[in-house]
Amino acid sequence: MSDQIKSIAILGGTGDLGGGLARQWSRAGYQILIGSRTLEKGQSAAADLLKEFPDLNVSGHENLEAATAADLVVLTVPFSHQLSTLDTVKPALIGKVLIDVTVPLMPPKVGTVQLPEGGSAVVRAQALLGDEVDVVSAFQNVGAMHLQGDHGIACDVLVTGNKRAARDTVIKLVEALGLRGWHAGPLANSAAAEAMTSVLISINRHHKINGAGIVITGAPAAE
């Protein structure tokens, strides 16, 4: 477990992806604060996880409370709630790393790439929050059903962000889940991961795959 990050708030932790990340990181030894728009939903999600793993350090909260108390914050809400959620917790994010997994899926054509104005959902999060928050994009291409299971996950994670140190922090958290994280450049490159999600949805549908992902070929040179 990272020496710097001991507690993680997952805003939207009541959903499939957020719940999967909570499950896996809590089992890896992190304190998890599940955030929701209401305290009751946050507590219910935590209680469900504790029924499965009673010894975990998991608790349920309202979003702002969770973001305030945690060392690092993860946003896993739908695209339509991205900016409104960030606006409510903005003061609690100052000086922290925010992992934003938002994908601009626009029903009913979720299998069609539809990037927002400005080219990236996560870039617009950084614009809203300003330079006092280190926004990092990750996990858009990992199927939630894999994170909710107990099997190895054959999927790599593209990690983009404007600061190398923030990306390093997130890659350690990726590795804590047994996945490989890759430095994929500045936050603007998040557009590629966001767009790839719709491509993977189309692949899943056409080929009847349950949670297709991406794998980067090649091995890093020894440092």
Please count the CA atoms within 13 angstroms of the CA of 182 that sit on its side-chain side. Answer: 16
pLDDT tens by residue, 114-133: 999 989 999 999 999 999 99
Asked if 45 and 66 count as a contact pair (C-beta separation under 8 A), the reply is no
3-state SS string for the chain: CCCCCCEEEEECCCCHHHHHHHHHHHHCCCEEEEEECCHHHHHHHHHHHHHHCCCCCEEEEEHHHHHHHCCEEEECCCHHHHHHHHHHHHHHHCCCEEEECCCCCCCCCCCCCCCCCCCCHHHHHHHHHCCCCEEEECCCCCCHHHHCCCCCCCCEEEEEECCHHHHHHHHHHHHHCCCEEEECCCHHHHHHHHHHHHHHHHHHHHHCCCCCCCCCCCCCCCC
Query: What pLDDT, on a 0 to 100 scale, did the predictor assign at position 222?
Result: 75
Whether residue 1 is predicted with pLDDT greater than 80 in this model: the reply is no
What's residue 3's pLDDT? 57
pLDDT of residue 181: 96
Given a cut of 80, whether residue 52 has pLDDT beyond it is yes
Domain ranges of the chain: 7-207
Is residue 106 within 8 Å of residue 114, measured between CB atoms? yes
Task: Quickly count: other Cβ atoms within 10 Å of residue 162's Cβ.
Answer: 16
Percent of the chain surpassing pLDDT 70: 98
Give the Cα separation of 153 and 150 in Å (integer).
Answer: 9
pLDDT digits (tens, 9 = 90+) for 150-192: 777 889 999 999 999 999 999 999 999 999 999 999 999 999 9
pLDDT digits 0-9 by tens, 67-104: 999 999 999 999 999 999 999 999 999 999 999 999 99
- The amino acid sitting at 87 is D
Q: What are phi and psi of 62, to 5 degrees?
A: -75, 155
CATH code reported for the domain at 7-207 = 3.40.50.720
Q: Say whether pLDDT at 41 is over 50.
A: yes
